């Protein structure tokens, strides 16, 4: 075994792909690294693996480092997010009984309109709605809260957000433990294949370009090990670039599918990669460009404004000062290290490390070091704009 060995933790999801690709296709080897990939059964277990030093780096839910910086979650560990692994990749689904109630009321499951979908869901749910998310501090939870709380309709008297590990989401639906879910692919499609779920929305219908998973390390590790951190970041960044090439899609599905990676068929994995989703056992197909994005549109850049959005919303729900939370959150998305280690690797770097979130309604050219950066539409379903410099208490 040649090179420096690094242990990386992951959850079996499509957006763990950069870790597998960096290992399988030699991007890590080019940097003199050997990656030892370690699966975890849940996001709490993965967080603890990283916190206790069982792994040096990990795929991590974007809000987890932010929550740690705010002192939330009961775990004193602090983390840095070195770069994003992907944007988007989540879906929202409902149980079959709930789907049938929504259809009976005339809802057509267009898989696009977050307002109509939310209104139909609340009407069908009545006084109780139990939604499964993979972890309390996740974009799944953030999207669900933002969506339901901004529909302009009263919420059910009993609204429960329950934690369910992604591979167990279909089983929780079948056991009537939850009525709906938000989860990363391929586990939403898995619920459809199991005949227990119907997909309601892609996460992109709520926030068109949301940060999803990050490459995380313990606070200070990257500063103490700059050469090693740089090598790891470059290997992962090149893997993301390779994943972003459409011609590689089918090979990605084959690489990811397997009992030691994602125990799901390549055909189901490809649905997320292509954006051609089968949303129900009726065979209804919906096209979602950008359902998951690994590279284009600066998908790997750790925007401090995205971290600030997460921090401000966590603060408002947990009784913290949103101004201080937004500032603290911005510091854990390490745009400074991204610029330091990836500039010479060929990354095009934006002119600023924060921006107005939700302000772009179409792909837009922005200032960058190489002058080739086009950011995608990033609007919220309710067309709000988040200005990190104008967060209010």
Asked if residues 29 and 3 have their Cβ atoms less than 8 Å apart, the reply is yes
Task: Give every CB contact of residue 171 below 8 A, 6+ residues apart in sequence.
Answer: none
Name the DSSP letter for residue 203.
G
Q: Whole-angstrom Cα distance, residue 139 to residue 44? A: 15
CA nearest 328: which of 256, 246, 237, 391? Answer: 391
Q: Which residues of the chain fall below pLDDT 70?
A: 1-2
Q: Whole-angstrom Cα distance, residue 58 to residue 74? A: 19
292 C-beta neighbours (distance < 10 Å), count: 26
Strand partners, 95: 197
> What pLDDT was estimated at residue 76?
85
> What pLDDT was estimated at residue 1?
45
Asked if residues 119 and 214 have their Cβ atoms less than 8 Å apart, the reply is no
> What pLDDT was estimated at residue 2?
59
Asked if residues 77 and 47 have their Cβ atoms less than 8 Å apart, the reply is yes
């Amino acid at each position: 075994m040649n090179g420096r060995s690094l242990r990386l933790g992951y959850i079996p999801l499509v957006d763990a792909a950069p870790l597998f690709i960096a290992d399988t296709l030699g991007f890590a080897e080019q940097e003199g690294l050997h990656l030892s990939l370690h699966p975890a059964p849940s996001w709490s277990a993965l967080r603890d693996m990283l916190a206790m030093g069982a792994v040096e780096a990990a795929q991590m839910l974007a809000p987890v480092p932010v929550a740690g910086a705010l002192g939330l979650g009961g775990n004193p560990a602090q983390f840095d997010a070195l770069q994003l692994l992907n944007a988007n990749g989540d879906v929202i689904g409902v149980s079959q009984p709930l789907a049938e109630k929504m259809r009976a009321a005339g809802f057509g499951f267009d898989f696009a309109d977050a307002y109509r979908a939310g209104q139909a869901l609340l009407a069908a749910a009545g006084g109780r709605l139990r939604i499964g998310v993979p972890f309390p501090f996740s974009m799944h939870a953030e999207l669900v809260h933002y969506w339901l709380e901004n529909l302009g309709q009263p919420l059910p008297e009993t609204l429960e957000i329950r934690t369910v590990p992604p591979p167990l989401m279909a089983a929780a639906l079948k056991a009537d433990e939850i009525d709906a879910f938000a989860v990363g692919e391929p586990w939403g499609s898995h619920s459809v294949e199991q005949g227990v779920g119907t997909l309601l929305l892609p996460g992109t219908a709520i926030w068109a370009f949301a940060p999803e998973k990050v490459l995380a390390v313990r606070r200070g590790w990257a500063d103490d090990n700059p050469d090693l951190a740089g090598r790891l970041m470059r290997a992962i960044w090149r893997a993301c670039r390779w994943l972003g090439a459409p011609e590689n899609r089918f090979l990605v599905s084959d690489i990811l599918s397997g009992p030691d990676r994602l125990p799901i068929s390549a055909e189901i994995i490809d649905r997320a990669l292509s954006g051609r989703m089968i949303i129900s056992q009726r065979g209804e197909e919906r096209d979602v460009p950008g359902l998951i994005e690994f590279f284009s549109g600066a998908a790997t850049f750790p925007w401090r404004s995205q971290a600030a959005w997460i921090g401000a919303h966590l603060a408002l729900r947990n009784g913290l000062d949103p101004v201080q939370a937004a500032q603290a959150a911005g510091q854990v998305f390490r745009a400074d290290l991204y610029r330091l280690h990836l500039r010479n690797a060929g990354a095009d770097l934006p002119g600023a490390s924060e921006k107005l979130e939700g302000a772009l309604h179409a792909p837009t050219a922005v200032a960058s070091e190489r002058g080739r950066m086009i950011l995608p539409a990033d609007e919220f379903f309710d067309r709000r704009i988040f200005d990190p410099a104008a967060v209010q208490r």
